[in-house]
Amino acid sequence: MALNLSIMLQLLWHCCFSFLLIYIFHTGSYSGHWIIATFGLTVILILIRLHFAGPTYKGLERLDGKTVLITGANTGIGKETAKEMARRGGRVIMACRDLDKANQAKDEIIKETENHKIFVHKLDLASFKSIREFCKTFNATEERLDILINNAGIMMCPKLKTEDGLEMQIGVNHFGHFLLTNLLLDKLKQCSPSRIVIVSSLMHMLGQMNFDDLNSERNYGAVRAYSQSKLANMLHVRALMKRLEGTGVTVNGLHPGSVDTELQRHFKIFSWTIFKILLKPIKIYFFKNAFKGAQTTIYAALDSSLETVSGKYFSDCKPASASKLSFNDEDAERLWQISEKITQGR
């Protein structure tokens, strides 16, 4: 992926330089203004791309003998995260809803990394029954769980409900992962020091917890429901951090960046041909690809300096400022109690 970025930047430079040569050939003018303008435009475009592309994690940590569980590992950020964990020698459990895509991704990862310790398991986060069945099997068959990465998510979908009657976005993004995490905590504690990584979003900044209508029954808005679910992720980090003190298990949240992945599949506008054409240059410069989008997850899961760091929020492989609402202990505890009641009662 880094090579692709390098090639793209070289092509960009060659295009600008070729334009300059054509201009000089046709006009016979070596105008300093045009030379400066062309060079300046090239530099600006390169800097814009580098800024939005984000950093690449450079740590050399190995995962030999360790087990990593990643939800939604069949595509996008999850797939790239799984690939990196496999490359570092880890035993990787891909917990996915779509087994066909997951097995395809597994084969690709094995081929690229030559690590055959990659396993696919069925997990539908929109079903508490599926989550319980997955965790029962996992806890019975897996000896270790060193890193849990709650990566799967759904973004700004139409008004839908989970198998258990919850609004789809908060149902999958928060309640599903809440139950999954709770059912795997004993295994994580047994293997401490261990880590939980929760993929949230910058959109949590726009979130408000509507405790009187968490399922958005009265007034559904796709953006509002998504933002609420991402704030719920950060409140989950907050409440879980306090409960894990002294256990050797850490939990942190993160924003992966604006990433061009299948998470955008519910944006109908992106499927229109004219918008695909118009949005392509915007995506090139202002969106990360899946590889770059996975870097902060990889950083939070592996960086040795974070071994005892818990309750934080990261972006672009460094600490970032989360919303004030995500530090509200009263809301975090209230959401925890509601989440326990909902997940235990179904």
Residues 6+ apart with CB under 8 A from 29: 23
Nearest to 291 by CA among 138, 77, 146: 77
- Whether residue 193 is preceded by a cis peptide bond, meaning omega within 30 degrees of 0, is yes
Nearest to 98 by CA among 126, 117, 129: 126
The reply to whether 313 belongs to the active site is no
Task: Report the amino acid identity of residue 199.
Answer: V
Catalytic position from the list 226, 285, 299, 313: 226
Euclidean distance between CA atoms 243 and 340, whole angstroms? 14
Residues 6+ apart with CB under 8 A from 220: 159, 167
Euclidean distance between CA atoms 81 and 113, whole angstroms? 12
Half-sphere exposure of 20 (CA within 13 A, CB side): 19
Q: Is 343 exposed, middle or buried (0-12, 13-18, 19+ CB in 10 A)?
A: buried
Catalytic sites, residue numbers = 226
